Amino acid sequence: MSDQLFIGIMSGTSLDGVDAVLIDCQNPSDIKLLGHDAQPFPAEVKNALWALQTSSNDELNRMSLAGVALAKVYAQTVKALLIKTGYTPQHIQAIGAHGQTVRHAPNLGYTCQINAPATLVELSGIAVVSDFRSRDVAAGGQGAPLVPAFHQHVFSTNTSRVILNLGGIANLSILEAGHTPRGSDTGPANMLMDNWSALHTGQSFDQGGQWGAQGQASQALLAYLIDSEPWFKKPFPKSTGRDLFNLSWLEQRLTDFKKNSSSVVEPIDVQATLQCFTARTIAMAIQSMGAQAWPIFVCGGGAFNDALMHQISHETQAMVSTTDSLGIPAQHVEAAAFAWLAWAHVQRKPVSEPKATGALGARVLGAYWPV
């Protein structure tokens, strides 16, 4: 039995499903990806999680039920992954289960990820590490992004580079030889584009950015979206989430823009503008953090949006490719990061990065649920 095999589970803000990876940390300097699996959310689970993104009645009961339902999907994904790879629960030291973020308010001293780790332990027969963000928030940090230490561990070289995660929110890690990693959220990545696509096309996301690529970005609207939002004026590092950048935020900005402008922006052109919005705010962050024109390696679902990738290259004037070229497929990086964070917890290794979250110092992250 190996005591260095860890599973990482991630379900992002897009709510499209669960990604799980199995990694081998036997040699910590050379982590090996042994397998992966993905499971879609059943409609009732997705709807329950989606409804909890905004305040409403009976939240405590509904959040608890959603956590149990989520743990069941996690357990099914773990089972499928073990069958694929030929391992048993006894081979696995722990599962790193991030949970589903429904509130993120580090300025108020808390962040909330729906989860039911005890249920996942019982269903999987494997120990679980969860609640990764709370300790960093308690130490005065943003609780996000937590992955720069992992990015440095697996992607760092003597060449300066940027690792860019395009999930619902975009976040980046600045990797510079001889320095501790820096990082921050930059603003929305897929979140607003997905919401707008669902509203106007019925598709949960814009496949390959094809719909948005047919539109014409409004430079006036783009400037308004950036200039009207105080979050973009905050110093780095910083974090954000669906609490701020949601469909209501976008619709209010569009209403206000229409009142103050004679131009009409069609839905397809709004989508094109949102692609530029994501790319422009990423470029702004990279420039502000002193990494202009460094090569950018992209992970997360947005790596498959060809139009967005092209726009990021245009805005940053940098080489843009995916993390596949660095040895870990773009779709598996974040789940692998939480497997590694589970390993770090078991090793009692402080891995939060103050230059990425703003915390008082590095902390051991997570809470352990034994078998």
pLDDT digits (tens, 9 = 90+) for 269-303: 999 999 999 999 999 999 999 998 999 999 999 99
> Residue 27: pLDDT above 50?
yes
Q: What is the mean pLDDT of residues 41-55?
A: 89
User: Tens digit of pLDDT for each residue in 100-109?
Assistant: 999 899 999 9
Question: Binning pLDDT at 50, 70 and 90, where does residue 50 land?
Answer: confident
**DSSP SS3 for 112:** strand
Residue 1 pLDDT:
43
**Each residue of 21-47: b (16+ CB within 10 Å) or e?**
bbbbbeeeeebebbbbbbbebeeebbe
Task: State pTM to two decimals.
Answer: 0.94
> Residue 192: pLDDT above 90?
yes
Contact 197, 369 (CB under 8 A): no
Question: % helix / strand / coil in the chain, to the nearest 5?
Answer: 45, 20, 35
Residue 2 pLDDT:
53
Q: What is the mean pLDDT of residues 98-117?
A: 93
> Residue 237: pLDDT above 80?
yes
> Residue 84: pLDDT above 80?
yes
**DSSP SS3 for 189:** coil
CATH fold of 148-318 reads: Nucleotidyltransferase; domain 5 (3.30.420)
CATH architecture of 5-143+330-369: 2-Layer Sandwich (3.30)
User: Tens digit of pLDDT for each residue in 296-327?
Assistant: 999 999 999 999 999 999 999 999 999 999 99
Compute the Cα dihedral for 189, 190, 191, 197 and give only its sign.
positive
CA proximity to 263, closest of 221, 213, 222, 228: 221
Residue 161 pLDDT:
97
User: Tens digit of pLDDT for each residue in 130-146?
Assistant: 999 999 999 999 999 99
Mean pLDDT of the chain: 94
User: Tens digit of pLDDT for each residue in 220-232?
Assistant: 999 999 999 999 9
Q: With pLDDT > 70 as the criterion, what percentage of the chain qualifies?
A: 99
> Residue 175: pLDDT above 80?
yes
Would you list the domain boundaries of the chain? 5-143+330-369, 148-318
